[in-house]
Amino acid sequence: MMNDRLSDLVKLLTLVLFVTTSFTSFAQEIPTDAVAISAGEALFNGNCKSCHRVKQKLVGPALAGVENRAPSIAWIIEWVKNPAKKIASGDEYANKIYNEYNKSQMTAFTSYTDAQILSILAYVKSDAEKVEVAPAAAQQTAGGGSAGVPSSYLNAIVGGMLLILLLMLVILGLIVSALKKYLNQKELSEDDQQVVNSPYTFATITRSSGFIFLVVFIVAAVGFKTTIDGLYSIGVQQDYQPKQPIAFSHKLHAGSYEIDCKYCHTGVLKGKQANIPSPNICMNCHTQIKQESPEIQKIYAAIGYDSKTASYTGKQKPIEWVRIHNLPDLAYFNHAQHVNVGGIECQTCHGPVQEMEVVKQYSLLTMGWCIDCHRKTDVNTKDNEYYNKLNELHLSAKKSKMKVEDIGGLECAKCHY
């Protein structure tokens, strides 16, 4: 918008930079060390997973065994960096897979170094080999889970006991009244009569001033509490679940397909806003997948894509999503601080989004809720030199781990300015 030429050039420069740096690494063997595998896993989950699985065919082929299938490791590296170039060069294997997968072009990952691509392959290889062990482990955890008493049973037991107690109360009452009748038919001394016909009947108790006071007090207290709770809930939109213009399912994307949150919410590590993805991110997959769906057609309408001719018309119309999480303007919140620096999972605040067909506001998002978490949460000081000095000072004075509140996490000007 402002300066496309400059940004184009910056992109070009970065590309050149990365290409030149990537030439410096020569290792062409798939590493087997755990570091490389875990690095590869992170890269795979963040970037590949939306189209590839290790053992399952998705948009692209299942990657297990790719190192044996493809012509060479060097070929894979070149392909990942620029698939279009490889296809255009007339490479036989490249064209074969291109045609096999409905001529859907893979995204070019120009910024990857050779080492990064190799680490992805390392992960793929190790994951493919893990196949046999996984189901057993899953069974084990399932078995372990059933050993505890489910909470629904507990409720039933408590309910049953209450019922029995009530029954006993009724029976006892009946016995008392029967005994009274029986005793009244007999001749009794005056003292005994007084005992039998004691003034403390149900009616006298309910009319006593003490009882009335108690009842009034309880009603007033409950009423007061309800009012206060009601007032506190003003502006709190927990469970807010508006209808969105496009029926996008997080359950499908984040749940079933396990697409990393950061793949679409690109700003979450960088800054304040996590970013609602722009339709061009959707198009990475949906040029191929589910073209006929009326919901996908809405994306096409927004970005101006003609699925019949597979071309862009240039007629764009932004999608007006309904905002779910609305912090008041007076509160400053930054995603990067929490997700990037703090290393907090998205689900901590947003709940099990991967199970939500339609997203709702999971947390309270009140100041009390924020403060509560700041009191309980340890500062993520691992590998962050910013906290070194602070952590050292903290540990020299206290034994407990440094919490967010210990470094000013409860101060007004952390969020209000």
Partner 1 sequence: MSTTTKKTYWKGLAQLKNDPSYVKHADKEFVDMGVSEDPGHSRRDFLKMMGFSVAAASLAACEAPIRKAIPYVVKPVDADAGIPNYYASTYVNGGDYCSVVVKVRDGRPIKLDGNSLSSVTRGGTSAQVEASVLSLYDNFRLRGPRISDKPADWETLDKEVISKLEAVSTEGGQIRIVSNTILSPSTKATIEKFKAKYPTTVHVQYDPISYYGLLKANEESFGSAIIPSYDFSKAKVIVSLGADFLGTWLSPIEFAKAYGTTRAVSEEKRDMSRHYQFESNLSLTGANADYRSLMKPSQEGAVLAQIYNIVAGRSAADSGVAHVEKAAKELLANKGASLVVCSSNDKEVQVLVNEINNLLGSYGTTILTSLPVNFRQGNDEAMTAFIEDAKASKIGAVIFFNCNPVYDHPKGAELSGALKNTKLAVSTSYTPDETASASGYMAPDHHYLESWNDFEPKPNYYSLSQPAITPIFKTRQAQESFLVWAGEKEVEYYSVVSENWKNWFFSKQTSALDFQSFWDKCLYEGVYELPTEVTELPFTSHVDDALAKVSNGSKSASGFELVIYESYGIGNGSQANNPLLQELPDPITKATWDHYVTISQKDAREILKLDNDAEGNTKLISLTLGGSTIKLPALIQPGQTPGTIGVALGYGRAKVGAVAEGIGVNVYPWVASVNGSLNYNISSGLKVASTEDDFQLAQTQIHQTYMGRESVIQESVLSEFKENPAAGREYPKITNWDEKVDPASLSLWKGHEYKSHYWGMAIDLNTCNGCAACVVACNVENNVALVGKKEVINRREMHWLRIDRYYSSDANPEDYKAAEIASENPEVVFQPMMCQHCNNAPCETVCPVAATTHSTEGLNQMTYNRCIGTRYCANNCPYKVRRFNWFKYHDNQQFYHSNPAMNTDLGRMVLNPEVTVRSRGVMEKCSFCVQRIQTGKLTAKKERRPMKDGEVITACQAACSTGAIVFGDMNNPESHISKLLKIESDPKRPYGIDKKIGNPRAYRVLEDIGVKPNIFYLTKIKNRDEHKEHA
Q: Does 42 interact with partner 1 (rule: CB under 8 A)?
A: no
Q: Does 197 interact with partner 1 (rule: CB under 8 A)?
A: no
Q: Does 17 interact with partner 1 (rule: CB under 8 A)?
A: no
Cα 136 to Cα 130, 133, 294, distances in angstroms: 11, 6, 41
Q: Does 408 interact with partner 1 (rule: CB under 8 A)?
A: yes
> Of residues 24, 389, 399, 400, which one binds partner 1 by CB under 8 A?
389
Q: Does 9 interact with partner 1 (rule: CB under 8 A)?
A: yes
> Of residues 19, 196, 341, 344, which one binds partner 1 by CB under 8 A?
341
Q: Does 320 interact with partner 1 (rule: CB under 8 A)?
A: yes
d(CA 344, CA 66): 34
Looking at the Cβ atoms of 69 and 315, the one nearer to partner 1 is 315
Neighbours of 183 (CB within 10 A): 14
d(CA 13, CA 25): 20
Q: Does 388 interact with partner 1 (rule: CB under 8 A)?
A: yes
Q: Report, in Å, the least distance between residue 156 CB and partner 1.
A: 38
146: amino acid identity, one letter: S
Q: Does 316 interact with partner 1 (rule: CB under 8 A)?
A: yes
Looking at the Cβ atoms of 318 and 368, the one nearer to partner 1 is 318
d(CA 401, CA 55): 42
> Of residues 28, 102, 194, 326, which one binds partner 1 by CB under 8 A?
326
Neighbours of 85 (CB within 10 A): 13
Encoded one letter per residue, x for contact with partner 1 by CB under 8 A and - for no contact, window 269-288 reads: xxxxx-xxxxxxx-------
Looking at the Cβ atoms of 183 and 390, the one nearer to partner 1 is 390
Q: Does 414 interact with partner 1 (rule: CB under 8 A)?
A: yes
**Which tokens go with 227?**
């009012």
Cα 60 to Cα 145, 191, 326, 407, distances in angstroms: 36, 96, 38, 47
Looking at the Cβ atoms of 140 and 388, the one nearer to partner 1 is 388
Q: Does 130 interact with partner 1 (rule: CB under 8 A)?
A: no
295-304: list long-range contacts, CB under 8 Å, 24+ apart: 295/246, 295/247, 295/248, 298/245, 298/246, 299/246, 303/279
